[in-house]
Amino acid sequence: MPGSLTDEQVEHFRREGWLCPFDAIGPDEAAANLAALDSYDGRLGPDATLRLKIKAQVVAPWMTALARNPRILDAVESLIGPDILLFGTSVFAKKARDVRFVSWHQDSAYYGLDPHEEVTAWVALTPSTVANGCLRVLPRSHRMADFRHEETYDPENLLARGQTIRDIDESQAVDMELQAGQFSLHHERTAHCSAPNPSDQRRVGVAFFYMPAHTRSTLGRRGALLVRGEDRHGHWDRDPEPRMDLDPVCLDYLDRMWAGYRDTGVKQAAEKGLV
């Protein structure tokens, strides 16, 4: 498939379910994006990042532009082809000395996508290292059976219901360390997590969820954003695009979609016996 990845990298992704690191934007642009996120604190609640879930690309034009970053899309195109829809975007932020974490989970248990070909590009806006709780993956887990998730509702878990896979062999995990402006890639079925941040440096990243245009929703009609190529299938309505920072129409959409995702995505996981 065309795109920026070598055959070896594509083969690694197909076998292992992850790849990194790649350059997306420079450190200055990462710092500017981080400053924009910080400026939403107060306006979107005490910690704006907690509201920037599942459709966070609608919060501002710069975020939608980052979702369309050609370096990210060139890499993603190598994996899922030229017709690319953005299913969604979530911000994952840990402050310095933050006890919050992300438990082991598979996104495929909750996203309601068929087939499971979604690829996440996790873009670091700060350095993301073992010391401050970077993203960790379990190699080859995307080829294992569906894992069962327990819903813990742990308030320190950054996931909506604290959905957790138990008994992961942590000795096999890979830490996807990144510098600010770099990104990693992981498959929708790859089990992943991140530890608390005991360090003095915060850790902030934006996860973009890309899928090929032929993907169907198993949760009824929903929206997505065409970010490259053509949508010849019409399985998805079109997500709105922000006209300005904190566009009120888009914020309303963001809140409704996040509430719907929490309710129906998790319900479907329960029906499939995954929670």
Site residues (vs ligand AKG, CB under 6 A): 92, 102, 107, 120, 122, 135, 192, 194, 205, 207
Locate the DSSP E strands across the chain. Answer: 18-23, 84-94, 102-105, 113-114, 119-124, 135-137, 150-151, 163-164, 174-175, 182-187, 192-194, 203-212, 216-217, 223-228, 237-238
- Enumerate the β-bridge partners of residue 122: 184, 207
Q: Count CB atoms within 10 A of the CB of residue 150.
A: 12
Residue among 182, 35, 197 at smallest CA distance from 122: 182
Amino acid occupying residue 62? W
Quote the least distance from Cβ 189 to ligand AKG, whole Å.
12
**98 with 196: CB under 8 angstroms?**
yes
Closer to ligand AKG by Cβ: residue 55 or 192: 192
Closer to ligand AKG by Cβ: residue 205 or 212: 205
**47 with 95: CB under 8 angstroms?**
no
Quote the least distance from Cβ 252 to ligand AKG, whole Å.
24
Quote the least distance from Cβ 123 to ligand AKG, whole Å.
10
Closer to ligand AKG by Cβ: residue 87 or 247: 87
- 229 is written with which tokens? 């190529």
Give every strand in the sheet of 192-194, ordered side by side.
102-105, 192-194, 135-137, 174-175
Quote the least distance from Cβ 161 to ligand AKG, whole Å.
13
The two beta strands, 18-23 and 182-187, are antiparallel
Closer to ligand AKG by Cβ: residue 57 or 194: 194
**156 with 245: CB under 8 angstroms?**
no
Closer to ligand AKG by Cβ: residue 136 or 222: 136
Closer to ligand AKG by Cβ: residue 37 or 102: 102
Measure Cα distances from 47 to 41, 52, 201, 240 in Å: 5, 10, 17, 24
Total residue length of the chain:
275
**165 with 269: CB under 8 angstroms?**
no
Quote the least distance from Cβ 178 to ligand AKG, whole Å.
11
Closer to ligand AKG by Cβ: residue 66 or 207: 207
Quote the least distance from Cβ 249 to ligand AKG, whole Å.
26
Quote the least distance from Cβ 107 to ligand AKG, whole Å.
5
Quote the least distance from Cβ 120 to ligand AKG, whole Å.
5
Closer to ligand AKG by Cβ: residue 210 or 236: 210
